[in-house]
Amino acid sequence: MPLRRSARTAVPSNRRSLAEPEPDGAQYEDEDSKRERGGSKRSPAKRRRTTATKQTMATKTERNRIEKKRDLNLLPKMPLDILFIIFGMLSARDLINLTRVDESFCRTLTLPGVSFVWKGARDAEEGIEPPRGIPEYRWANLFFGGPVCDFCQAKKVYVDWMLRRRVCKRCLKSRLICASTVARRFPDVNDNILSLIPLTYAGPRKERARSGYHWISDIIDIQAKLKELEAQPERLTEFQTERKELVEDINRVSENSVHSLIHLIYPFLGCATM
């Protein structure tokens, strides 16, 4: 029996390429063939109503998604005092998520004068204070940022508390240098300079170097800073003292961080960031 004209042209195709899946209303010819073989089939009018209902639901879903996105886009335009009230109600994890989904929030929440927001979230979690020289937002990211590499977004990456970073093995290989080989790559760097830089033993290889590892960019930054202060002896001495105290703080805090991490994060994330 030939196809009725109404069945052949019931609903026009919305496909944009041959690679797209068949739409819901593209089974008319096959269904008519089934009826020829004696199979049951809905009437053409019911098929049209079902297809129209599905299209209406899809349209409503898309409209709701756009309206929700429009509402979220209004948040960065709110007055800062209102935003700070909202931020104060959020957990550290929520604040971190905000910095990741919106650049405006990221810029606002990383301003020096906004550390009170992060401190409030940390106090609510009974977290330990960050060592000197580490902003509150970076400290929060170490505890609550999730097991994701800071550089390549690799998953299941642990925190190195000495480096104050979460870095995967692949990125560690290109960013760490063995302490015993520093002199070959940086001839002007001596032990006095290295004493101003944190040392970690969690290297990129299975067999870790006994001498430990330094973060390469730390060496470059400290070397440049010391050269900048050569003409200011008092400021140079002050900077060296500050750096030594910073390294001491990092050593002290790193010993307590694992215990605090277990207490704060284990109920939520298991051992993903330990």
Q: What is the pLDDT along the chain (274 residues), one digit of tens a residue?
A: 554 444 444 444 443 322 333 344 444 344 444 444 455 555 555 555 555 565 666 666 666 555 544 555 666 678 888 888 989 999 999 999 988 888 888 888 998 889 999 999 999 988 888 877 789 999 899 888 888 898 888 998 988 888 889 999 899 999 999 999 999 999 999 999 999 999 998 877 665 678 899 999 999 999 999 999 999 999 999 999 999 998 988 887 776 655 454 444 444 343 333 3
Q: What is residue 114's DSSP assignment?
A: G
**28 found inside a domain:** no
**216 found inside a domain:** yes
**127 found inside a domain:** yes
Q: Does residue 67 sit in the same domain as residue 80?
A: no
Q: Does residue 261 sit in the same domain as residue 202?
A: yes
Q: Does residue 46 sit in the same domain as residue 89?
A: no
Q: Does residue 249 sit in the same domain as residue 218?
A: yes
pTM beyond 0.85: the answer is no
**154 found inside a domain:** no
Q: Does residue 245 sit in the same domain as residue 217?
A: yes
**59 found inside a domain:** yes
Q: What is residue 160's DSSP assignment?
A: E
Of 153, 173, 172, 154, the closest CA to residue 162 belongs to 172
Number of structural domains the chain divides into: 3
- Domain of 100, in residue numbers: 75-145
Q: Does residue 249 sit in the same domain as residue 183?
A: yes
**35 found inside a domain:** no
Domain boundary residue, one of 124, 145, 166: 145
Q: Distance between CA atoms of 273 and 266, rounded to whole angstroms?
A: 9
Q: Give the bridge partners for 151, in sequence order.
A: none
**255 found inside a domain:** yes
Q: Does residue 66 sit in the same domain as residue 122?
A: no
What pLDDT, on a 0 to 100 scale, did the predictor assign at position 235? 96
Q: Does residue 230 sit in the same domain as residue 250?
A: yes
Q: Does residue 179 sit in the same domain as residue 264?
A: yes
**273 found inside a domain:** no
Q: Distance between CA atoms of 257 and 201, rounded to whole angstroms?
A: 16
Q: Does residue 98 sit in the same domain as residue 128?
A: yes
